[in-house]
Chains A and B, each alone.
Chain A
Amino acid sequence: MNKQVSLGRVGLVLALSIGFEIFILTRLVSLQLFQYSKFQTRVSQQSKTRVKVTPVRGRIYDRFMRILATSLPDPSSASGGDGQAGIKSKRVYPLNDLAGNLLGFVGRDGSGLEGIEYEFDYLLSGNSGWTDLGKTPSGKLYPYPGYSRVSAQSAQDIVLTIDADIQAIAEESLKKRVNSMRASSGSVVILNPGTGEILAMVTIPCINPGNWAQSKRTLNGLPTILCKNRALQVQFEPGSTFKIIPISAIVENELVVFSDTVEDGTGEVTIEGKTIHDLHPHGPLTFTEAVWKSSNVAFVYLANLIGRKRFYEAARAFGFGVSTGITLPGEARGSLSSPDNWSDLEFANLAFGQGMSCNLLQLALAYSVIANGGILLEPIIIKEILSNKGKVIYTAKPIKVRKVLSEDKAKKIKELLCGVINEGTGILAKIPGLDIAGKTGTSQKYIPARRTSSLSAPLRQAKRDGADKAGGYGDIYTVTFVGFFSIGPSTNEQILIACLIDEPKVLHLGGQVCGPMFKEIAQKTIRLNPYRTQMDTEIKG
């Protein structure tokens, strides 16, 4: 029989096939076992990318949980990919410019640049996470279900001690007053002197933090620095409101009896060839009257009675010359030089609050000492911090810095200050039926001799107008008014309002410029529900 099939040929073809198979397997071993890590990296690099996921920024609330700042998704800024992870959020301030200079603002990248947004950025921004996104050959990103991700820890929320209503009232009144006085700026601090909680912190001119880049850069036709929180970041010479220091030193050390005559009626005193006089001539003044009428001459005598060292210590004890400890950026802590360096004239000037400086919050806290029975408190701006699940993880408690005065001495001073409003320079702030203790202040501004670019327009004008005044005090004023009143029986039920208007041109006395504004703010505030309920019914109107 003829052999039809050559097994040799079959064997040869089979051997070739097995050879090819081995070739393939060798190739696979080379690719998959020896070059594995190279290809692995390459594939994951080309097909996958890690994208940072920033959490939605935390909210800022006022003390009654009204939203001052929040973040909303901003579809207009979606960055690449099929969407989802690329969406950024936009910072939104529902009450527009309310408390703008306190809240600050965020930059393009969403990080805080000023104010609360800056100081508490680490809480508000939260912990960012990441997600792996698929990448197409052309670089387009898309979500892929199998890829890992670490979700962003959403940020913490901050509850401020601010009361948006009071803030709004104060902003409205201050804006009106700054405009009508043609002043260059103004600020108001309202706090609870019993706890140190700040209820309002107002600056005019102010920014709209949601649109800060486009905020107006002029006020009353003058260019101005916008984003400063003037109640904190600007220092000034307080003038007569600083008399709280000599008053306290006198009362604490019982250096005079209130009815003692402290000024014989000359109305002027000359020190180092420079004559200091009171605004209006008046007869002989008792200590009480000197306080009510805010006689500079009388306080020059009183300062001498106190002595430099005690004067300086009292000022320090009230917190002048040191930071208040507030958790806000850029505090201007003011200056108070050491008593050894004071000339007689400088010491005399200090008696009525010239030649030193402070910020408005320091001044407010110094008056809080009188209001709360002698304790210097640290100011509080953060009431609570909420976790991302809404749990309260921090609650502020009043922080006592030191006991400055005994309670009864503080009470005596308070009575003295009530007279300022009822009988003295603060009469324009008087509200019938409400006991307000307060003090006015009018200080001349120092016109520097050297050329400085940071001068305000009126100062520059003054420098041009009277060359003789350069290097001394001119007719440009900073006016202040600090007052407080009770809205209930306890120490914690008080409201303290400190006002400052800088460089007013229509009027220039503290009582005249700030008094009516103080009254307006106080009246509107005590009509608000949370404060009204604590009030005596008859004062409501």
Chain B
Amino acid sequence: MKKTDKGILLITLILVGIGLIMVYSSSAFSSLRVMNTSTFFFKKQLIPLGIGVVLCFTVSKIDYRIWGKYSYLILGITILLLFWVLLFSQSVHGTKRWIRFSNSSLKWISFQPAEFAKLGVIIFIANFISRQTDGPLRRSFSEASGQANHSASGGLYTQYVSRRINFVKFRGLYLSIALAIVFLLIALEPSFGVLFAICVTCLIILFLGNFRITWLLLIFAGVFGAGFLLINHSPYAKLRMANFFSHEGYQLRQSIYGIGAGGLFGAGLGNGKAKLFFLPEPHTDFIFSIIGEELGFIGCAIVSVLFLILLIRGIKIGIRQQADKFGFLLAVGISFIIFVSAGIHIGVTCGILPITGIPLPFISFGGSNLLSNLIGIGILLNISRQRQRTEDR
């Protein structure tokens, strides 16, 4: 019998609920001043939420394996959209993150390709790695090369070695190039927060996909080096790094003040002061600071622990689905992209990570982020159902 993981659903609903309340609380004052109505952002958030719930439900009905089948197409579309946003969108605060449709019938509809790229990349890597039946460098990858199963006989050792080299030469290169393109496009927007989250998640997927440690260290060094170069060549990022290390950044200071001022129980919903002119964009990249000030340590702890529980449940789903490596990696990847994003957001707002704009999954204002996360949950729910089906057999 099909059975969805109700725990994941419940946690998601709780987080989305907290999100709606906090979006209202953190944006009411500024939207009243600017838009003459306190519910501007709140209402605007309801539309993607509605779409997101429908998509989540729909996706949970779709067999997740279909995503693996179309992973190249998905990555292709992702790359196209990322190109599109760089070439044709207008920049907002010096960044090009949004594709906007603003003709009369589609007024104010915009989305961030980078948010959807998260899913695209995870699906792609999960599929890619799972195509090697066993560990990528130890065993043959007959499935991927389209050959029929053959028994592991010593006579075929040479063939095996040559194929391994083949893989290293071509498939590994292929993966690296694909990811490098995506990462570079996101870095050019720039959208370092999302990029950071994707990188970390990719490394985790590779690690759990039984990649060799030496390889991982190489990749890690590559990513770290690229990151260092990026930061050094982007004045925007450089300033933020400098701010982080000197602890003088205005936003950072305000964010820490806000969280600290919350105390154990917080000032109460709507009573936060940091959102009153002090924290820019309190309803997006600093919403955790508002949670800290208004709901206190208790609110913060509940929210951050909920993300941890979500992660653990997601990994559990993955492990139960380990018979299908794609399913396992997809479940783990989705769980981690949510947890890592949340971790970066919380880490930034309470000053343990350098400032980078990243929304808190399910909670921050922003349609693309909410949509992509809800779709991710939908996929996760489907995997949990598949697990039941597998066991039933």
Residues of A within 8 A of B (CB): 2, 4-7, 9-10, 13-14, 17-18, 20-21, 23-25, 27-29, 31-33, 35-36, 38-40, 42-44, 46-48, 134, 136-137, 144, 146
User: In chain B, residues 274-327, which have Cβ atoms closer than 8 Å to a Cβ of chain A?
Assistant: 274, 276-278, 292-293, 296-297, 300-301, 304-305, 308, 311-312, 315, 319, 322-323, 325
- B258 to chain A: closest residue by CB: A43
Instruction: Pick the residue among B256, B292, B312, B343 that contacts A20 (CB under 8 A).
Output: B343
Task: Given the known inter-chain contacts A5-B319, A25-B301, A39-B261, please indicate yes or no for A14 contacting B134, CB distance below 8 A.
Answer: no
> How many angstroms between the C-alpha atoms of A31 and B266 in the bound complex?
12
In contact, A28 and B315 (Cβ under 8 angstroms)? no
Least CB separation from B29: chain A residue: A144
Which secondary structure characterizes the binding site on chain A?
helix
Interface centre among A18, A40, A44 (most CB of B within 10 A): A40
Q: In the docked arrangement, what's the CA distance between A104 and B370, Å?
A: 69
Which chain B residues lie closer than 8 Å to A39 at the CB level? 256-261
* CB-contact partner of A29 in B134, B297, B311, B336, under 8 A: B297
Measured between alpha carbons, how far is A46 from B346 in the docked complex, in Å? 24
Separation of A42 and B273 alpha carbons in the complex (Å)? 11
Q: How many A-B residue pairs have CB under 8 A?
A: 125
Q: How far is the CB of A229 from chain B (nearest CB, A)?
A: 52
Kindly state the separation between the CA atoms of A367 and B373 in the bound complex, as whole angstroms: 98
| Chain B residue contacts of A38, Cβ below 8 A | 260
Q: Smallest distance from the beta carbon of B203 to chain A beta carbons, Å?
A: 10
Residues of A close to B351: CB separation below 8 A: 27
Task: Please pick, from B297, B336, B343, B347, the residue contacting A32 in the complex, using a CB distance under 8 A.
Answer: B297
- Nearest Cβ distance between residue B330 and chain A, in whole angstroms? 13
Residues of A within 8 Å of B308, CB to CB, are 17-18, 21
Partner of A43, one of B208, B273, B325, B332: B273
- A44 CA to B351 CA, complexed, in Å: 20
Q: Which residues on the A side are within 8 Å of B346 (C-beta)?
A: 24
**What residues on A are CB-neighbors of B292 within 8 Å?**
28, 31-32
Contact of A14 among B264, B304, B315, B325 (CB under 8 A): B315
How many Å lie between the Cα of A455 and that of B139 in the bound state?
120
Q: A5-B328, A25-B301, A47-B278 are in contact. Are A31 and B256 (CB under 8 A)?
A: yes
For the complex with contacts A6-B210, A31-B350, A47-B273, 18 further pairs of A-B residues with Cβ separation under 8 Å are A4-B322, A5-B210, A5-B319, A13-B336, A14-B311, A14-B312, A17-B343, A20-B343, A25-B301, A28-B292, A28-B297, A28-B350, A33-B263, A35-B260, A42-B257, A47-B276, A137-B278, A144-B29
Bound together, the chains give a CA A315 to CA B332 distance in angstroms of 110
User: Is B181 located at the chain interface by the 8 A CB criterion?
Assistant: no
Closest to A140 in B: B277
**Given the complex of chains A and B, what is the CA–CA distance between A23 and B322 in angstroms?**
30
**C-alpha gap A48/B296 in the complex (Å):** 20
B176 at the A interface (CB under 8 A): no
Q: Would you give the shortest CB distance from B160 to chain A, in whole angstroms?
A: 15
Residues of the A chain whose Cβ atoms lie less than 8 Å from the Cβ of B29:
144
Q: Within the complex, which residue of B139, B264, B332, B352 is in contact with A27, where a contact is CB–CB below 8 Å? A: B352
Most buried by B among A10, A25, A43, A134: A43
Show 24 residue pairs from A and B whose CB-CB distance is below 8 angstroms, ordered by the A residue: A4-B328, A13-B336, A21-B305, A24-B343, A24-B350, A24-B352, A25-B301, A28-B259, A28-B300, A28-B350, A32-B292, A32-B296, A33-B263, A33-B264, A36-B263, A39-B256, A40-B260, A40-B263, A43-B257, A43-B260, A43-B274, A47-B273, A144-B276, A146-B271
Q: How far is the CB of A48 from chain B (nearest CB, A)?
A: 7
Does B361 sit within 8 A of A, measured CB to CB? no
How far apart are the CA atoms of A536 and B303 in the complex, in Å? 92
